Amino acid sequence: MVVSLVNVLVNGAAYGMLLFLMAGGLSVTMGLMGFANLAHGSLAMLGGYVLATLMNHYDVSFLPALLAATIATAFAGAIVERTVFRRLYGGAELDQVLLTIGVVSMTVAAATYVWGTNPTSVKIPAWLDGRLQFGNFDFGVYRLFLLIVGGALTAGLFFGIDRTNFGAKIRAAVDNRRMTVSCGIDVKRLFALAFAIGSALAGLGGGLAVGLVGLDPTFGVKYLVFLLMVVVVGGLGSIRGTLVAAIALGICDVTGKYYVPDAGAFILYAVVVVMLLWRPRGLFGR
Amino acid sequence: MSRMGLRALAALVGLGALCGAAWADEEPLKIGLVGSFSGGAAQWGISVDAAFAAYQKQHGDSAGGRKIEFLRRDTTGPNPDIVRRLVQELISRDKVELICGIEFTPNALAAAGLSTQAKVPLLIVNAATTEILTNAPYTSRFGFTTAQIVTPFAKWAAKNGYHDVYAIYTDYGPGIEAGNAFKKAFTEAGGNVVGEVKPPLISPDYSAYIQRVKDAKPQAIFIFAPAADHPQIFLKAYRDAGLGEIGVKILATGDLTNESVLNNLGDPALGMITTFDYSEAHDSPLNKEFTKAFYATARDNTRPDFTAAAAYDVINAIYKIVDAQHGKIDPDRTMALIKGMSFESPRGPIAIDQNRDIVQNVYFRKVEKVGGKLENVEFQTTPMVDDHGNPTK
Amino acid sequence: MAVLAAEDATRLFVARSRWRWEEIVFWLVAASSYFLFPGHLVLITQALIAGLFSMSLDILLGYAGIASMGHAAFFGLGAYTAGILAKMGYGDPILDLLAAAVLAGGFGALCSLLVARLHGIGMLMVTLGIGLSCYELANRWRDMTGGDDGLQGMVVKPIFGIFAFDFDGHVAFIYSFVVIFILYLFARRLVNSPFGLALLGIRENLRRVPALGIGVRAQLMLAFTIAASIAGVAGALLAESTQFIALEVLGFDRSISVLIMLVLGGIGNLVGGMIGAMVFTVARDELAALDPVYWNFWMGLILCAIVLSGSGGIVGLLRRIERRFGGTAR
């Protein structure tokens, strides 16, 4: 009984961590910068495809490929931001939603054209592909790896953005752009950098996810809803909130499916609706 | 008129009649081909196109004196309302004489209704639910039904030491049908279904379900899931929980290990036992010819799979029908020809019974590495099973 | 800001409700398509129904300023209401239409309670959540809705007992056209009335409006109810004319498509939704037949272009051209 429960909780946390890894970047772009970025999933998908192509066709090993995926996606995000998204900062959210949906359509078509509709997968390196057993509890090594990476990422984001001048500048620029500019801060460069970071994280998350959930051109759209939920429930503008929400939703989802499997996806939707009604600004929203 | 004139006239008339006949024969036979050529299930379209092209390379593009013309229509996935409109337009506007294709049950239901209303014969390639043909006297199926594939498996499992089985099947039409078919046949054969779960279609994580399986400690899991991403996710959770080590085997239908996803599953799939109607490794001269022709026409490194085989059989059936009627298609005659049709397919011998449904061998296969490639190697056969899973011999 | 004298107010309302040329052209073209494109009636009927659906969203978005990513919930609810009633033997098309309107409208009123307090991303998320939950519910309730196989066995009786729905879609076209035109006239009346102005006020400056004595909550709830009701009628029309319901009527795709159609045509002028839906539906049919992968790509590109240019869609473009050539566009 207890063993099962512990397994479920840990798996839930690991699933939540996967969500956080994919949604972390969204927390920066949508949460921090206030830009409704539905194309985030597409960026994650790009990271996944870069990883898969490097590993499958060019025999690059896992970690370097992951790094490459992260950097490539950062560049892609920066380019898209500069050419397209930049013009809609501070605009109506619906416009941003529609614009990013347009981008998503294009990326799905492009991915289909380049990589075909067949699902792709990668071979996880042997040192990550196994099981650890502690008495009656067993956990996949890859999942533990995700937990560790996620933890490191949170710390990095927290101390790198939440608690620094950088983060404060971004928040200031989002709240009152003109004032920030008049303080001598180059807001354009600031946003470009922040968006690049958000995109890099998307690429990282996507690359890491391939080993667990596979990859195909609909990747960006399939899991988008979960990512949006995590960021909104956590509270826009708070990295801490996204992490807490991700872990909480992950645990709720897996535990719910364990105890009441017939309820299926409803549990997650119900939890999200209740959370949003209780705290419309999210758990740690500003 | 002089004798010469009469002869000339006769010759002219004769020539004219000949030309007229030739002219009439030259009008192509339009056949609607409805299925997924884009979107998540676009692989279907790729397989069918390649199979059709392979067949036409071997047999030409005419039958019964008429040129066969396929009007392709894209459903983009399970979209019954789009299918309805496409089929209505094919019948009403394009005046097709036959319709073939269809990959999903909702699409099949939508198309079958129109086929019945307008009396246009419909040859289904893949949709696998039994009820599709129930009130559709002009619809026939050449693929397989879920009950057909699952029932022999369930009986075999019960007789081969798998007494307690946990059932996992995805919560959508085909999944529910597979789950019900398995539960029914398995319990009837004396087995015990110790538990079941129905993961939703979008399930990035199977760990909760695997934990339940672990709690129940069955001898095997019966799993039915859409071929795209579920197999991978399921296998990962299965391995992470060490179920293989404690002796829980995997029983799955061939969808899980079908050729288009087999390469992605990789070595973790080795040893999986499945039942299905087609394997690329099926050892017959026709299949060898077919796979060779298929690889010559397919793109994107597609491997021939059950869709390709069924499509190959459908176009073969169409050619037979058109030949037998010398190019003049009559719906009732067509259906009479289809019922009772039997011929050799790349999968083995197949037949269409009086209910217009497919009767074929169901093969038991194990995933093995043959020549460096993962294949479903057949080790046992239940011959000529009907659409409800019962042997006809 | 001066208060308008009574005659000025009347003149204002009259000016606002004058028929614009793009509306006249659209409806003439739609009506004549029955004779011009007899082989495409099914497609055009579906385009008109999509237009009605877009128009209902316009009432929410263009006039009340409420952005919804889950509008298909009302559409689907209307469709399933008509469908299930037809399946159970109560297949009179007009009664089913009314039932759909009532149920969808009621659900709309309910949703307005949830959504009214939110703005921006929160509102988008909750409306999205509502749409997804409805889809999930219909999916699971297989016995009632048929789940992802779709609703089978609808028996729609002839209209007024005389006009039975035919295979080629003639009756369905005329029936839908009449219903949609009537609702269009109703919606016009609505948005050009004081109520319509109140909605615009709420959209433009939410805080100021109560000072004018307008109850925001009540107006929004009314707007929601009407919009949902009309969407429900659109869904029921689709169900009745095709005698089949796919689960996708409630899907995310449909909610997003209708947004795209509305943006394409132009928000805030009612006919924009109809024009956008017609263009989108016909274009998708033609282009997707050519190459479906490219359709997605080009559609995405056009959408980006429209949003970035901020030109107000097709109608906005037409008005700009009109202004350029010296017309008195509003």
Nearest to B92 among C168, C293, C296 (CB): C168
Stronger pLDDT, C166 or B322, i.e. the higher one = B322
Q: How far apart are CA B198 and CA B196, in angstroms?
A: 7
Query: Which tokens belong to A167?
Result: 């983060």
Contact of C304 with A103, CB cutoff 8 Å: yes
Nearest to B53 by CA among B38, B36, B39, B33: B33
pLDDT at B372 over 80: yes
Nearest to B70 by CA among B25, B100, B36: B100
Contact of B388 with B151, CB cutoff 8 Å: yes
Q: Which residues of A touch C128 (CB under 8 A)?
A: 225, 228
pLDDT for residue B4:
61
Q: How many CB atoms lie within 10 A of CB A204?
A: 26
Nearest to C42 among B85, B113, B118 (CB): B85
pLDDT at B261 over 90: no
Contact A264 B232 (CB under 8 A): no
pLDDT at C102 over 90: yes
Nearest to B120 by CA among B379, B331, B385, B349: B331
Q: Which residues of A touch B200 (CB under 8 A)?
A: 264-265
Residue B46 resides in a domain: yes
Instruction: At C194, give phi and psi (nearest 5°).
Output: -55, -35
Contact B80 C150 (CB under 8 A): yes
* Cα of B379 to nearest chain A Cα, Å: 28
The continuous run of DSSP H or E covering B34 comes out as strand B29-35
Do B52 and B127 lie in one domain? The reply is: yes
C32 touches chain A (CB under 8 A): no
Count of structural domains within chain C: 1
**Integer angstrom CA distances of residue C141 from A273, B226, C82, C134:** 21, 21, 16, 11
The continuous run of DSSP H or E covering C112 comes out as helix C93-115
Q: Which residues of A touch B302 (CB under 8 A)?
A: 118
What does the angle CA B50 – CA A117 – CA B302 come to, to the nearest 5 degrees?
35
Q: Which residues of C touch B85 (CB under 8 A)?
A: 42-43, 46, 242
Do B238 and B380 lie in one domain? The reply is: yes
Which amino acid would we find at residue A280?
P
Residue C139 resides in a domain: yes
ipTM: 0.83
Q: Which chains touch B (3 or more CB pairs under 8 A)?
A: A, C
Residue C186 resides in a domain: yes
Residue C220 resides in a domain: yes
Q: How far apart are CA C70 and CA C72, in angstroms?
A: 5
Q: How many CB atoms lie within 10 A of CB C32?
A: 10
Q: Which residues of A touch C127 (CB under 8 A)?
A: none
pLDDT at C291 over 80: no
Residue B1 resides in a domain: no
Give me the residues of C, 120-159, that contact B with CB < 8 A: 139-140, 142, 147-150, 152
Nearest to B173 among C147, C288, C289 (CB): C147
How many interchain CB pairs under 8 A, A with C? Answer: 99
Contact A109 C294 (CB under 8 A): yes
pLDDT for residue B13:
52
Contact of B374 with B265, CB cutoff 8 Å: yes
CATH code, domain with B165: 3.40.50.2300
Contact of B148 with B358, CB cutoff 8 Å: yes
Stronger pLDDT, A59 or B23, i.e. the higher one = A59
Using the structure block, give the residue that is written with the tokens 């100021």. Answer: C208
Range of the domain at B220: 147-276+362-385
Which amino acid would we find at residue B2?
S
Stronger pLDDT, C99 or B106, i.e. the higher one = C99
Contact B80 C147 (CB under 8 A): no
How many interchain CB pairs under 8 A, B with C? Answer: 73
Contact A258 B208 (CB under 8 A): yes
* Mean predicted confidence (pLDDT) in B36-64: 88
Residue B392 resides in a domain: no
Q: What's the CATH number for A2-278?
A: 1.10.3470
Do B75 and B161 lie in one domain? The reply is: no
Count of structural domains within chain B: 2
pLDDT at B20 over 50: no
Which residues make Cβ contacts (< 8 Å) with residue C186, sequence separation at least 6?
none
Q: How many CB atoms lie within 10 A of CB A218?
A: 21
Do B192 and B339 lie in one domain? The reply is: no
Nearest to A131 by CA among A118, A112, A145: A145
Residue B221: strand pairing partners: B166, B250
Do B333 and B379 lie in one domain? The reply is: no
pLDDT at B389 over 90: no
* Cα of B240 to nearest chain A Cα, Å: 4
Do B248 and B374 lie in one domain? The reply is: yes
pLDDT for residue B140:
94
Q: How many Cα atoms occupy the beta-carbon half-sphere of B76 within 13 Å? A: 20
Q: E strands of chain A, at which residues?
A: 131-134, 137-140
**Integer angstrom CA distances of residue A9 from A264, B212, B304:** 17, 13, 42
A229 touches chain C (CB under 8 A): yes
Do B164 and B119 lie in one domain? The reply is: no
Q: How far apart are CA B189 and CA B319, in angstroms?
A: 41
Do B151 and B107 lie in one domain? The reply is: no
Range of the domain at C161: 20-324
Q: Strand, coil or helix: what is C79?
A: helix
pLDDT for residue B76:
81
Q: Which chains touch A (3 or more CB pairs under 8 A)?
A: B, C
DSSP assignment letter at A28: I
**Is the entire prediction scored with pTM above 0.90?**
no
Render pLDDT for B70-107 as a digit per residue (tens, 0 to 9): 998 888 888 888 888 899 989 988 899 999 999 888 89
DSSP assignment letter at B125: S
C288 touches chain B (CB under 8 A): yes
What does the angle CA B74 – CA B102 – CA B61 come to, to the nearest 5 degrees?
80
pLDDT for residue C175:
93
Do B290 and B303 lie in one domain? The reply is: yes
Contact A133 B239 (CB under 8 A): no
- Terminal CA-CA length for chain B: 70
**Measured on CA atoms in the order A243, A249, A252, A256, is the torsion positive or negative?**
negative
* Cα of A150 to nearest chain C Cα, Å: 25
Stronger pLDDT, B227 or A57, i.e. the higher one = A57
Which amino acid would we find at residue B305?
D
C106 touches chain B (CB under 8 A): no
Question: In chain A, what are the domain boundaries?
Answer: 2-278
Contact C297 A88 (CB under 8 A): no
**Integer angstrom CA distances of residue A191 from A205, A234, B136:** 21, 22, 61
* Cα of A193 to nearest chain B Cα, Å: 31
Query: Which tokens belong to C289?
Result: 């037949």
Nearest to A131 among B46, B233, B239 (CB): B239
Q: Which residues of B touch C167 (CB under 8 A)?
A: 88, 92, 117-118
Contact C296 A105 (CB under 8 A): yes
C133 touches chain A (CB under 8 A): yes
Q: Which residues of A touch C259 (CB under 8 A)?
A: 94, 98
Q: How far apart are CA B123 and CA B141, in angstroms?
A: 6
Contact B109 C140 (CB under 8 A): no
Give me the residues of B, 99-118, that contact C with CB < 8 A: 105-106, 109-110, 113, 117-118
Contact of B58 with B318, CB cutoff 8 Å: no
Residue C13 resides in a domain: no
Query: Which tokens belong to C312?
Result: 């107000």
Q: Strand, coil or helix: what is A138?
A: strand
pLDDT for residue C328:
56
Indicate the Cα dihedral angle C291, C296, C298, C302, nearest 10°.
Answer: 150
Chain A residue at shortest CA distance from B245: A131
Q: Can you give the pLDDT of all 286 residues of chain A as single tens digits?
A: 788 888 888 888 988 998 998 888 888 888 777 788 889 999 999 999 999 999 988 988 899 999 999 999 999 999 999 888 888 887 788 888 889 999 998 998 888 888 877 788 888 888 888 888 877 777 888 888 888 988 888 888 888 777 788 888 887 887 788 888 888 888 888 888 888 998 999 999 999 999 888 888 888 888 888 888 888 888 877 788 889 999 999 998 888 888 888 777 777 887 887 887 788 777 877 6
Contact B208 A123 (CB under 8 A): no
Contact of C282 with C276, CB cutoff 8 Å: no
Contact C121 A30 (CB under 8 A): yes
Q: How far apart are CA A61 and CA A125, in angstroms?
A: 8
Do B190 and B320 lie in one domain? The reply is: no
* Cα of A167 to nearest chain B Cα, Å: 32
pLDDT at C329 over 60: no
Q: Which residues of C touch B89 (CB under 8 A)?
A: 39-40, 42-43
Contact of C124 with A94, CB cutoff 8 Å: yes
DSSP assignment letter at B99: E
Q: Out of A262-266, B158-162, C158-162, which region has the weakest mean confidence (pLDDT)?
A: A262-266
Q: Which residues of B touch A257 (CB under 8 A)?
A: 197, 199, 208-209
* Cα of A217 to nearest chain B Cα, Å: 8
* Cα of C303 to nearest chain A Cα, Å: 5
Do B170 and B267 lie in one domain? The reply is: yes
What does the angle CA C284 – CA C287 – CA C288 come to, to the nearest 5 degrees?
70
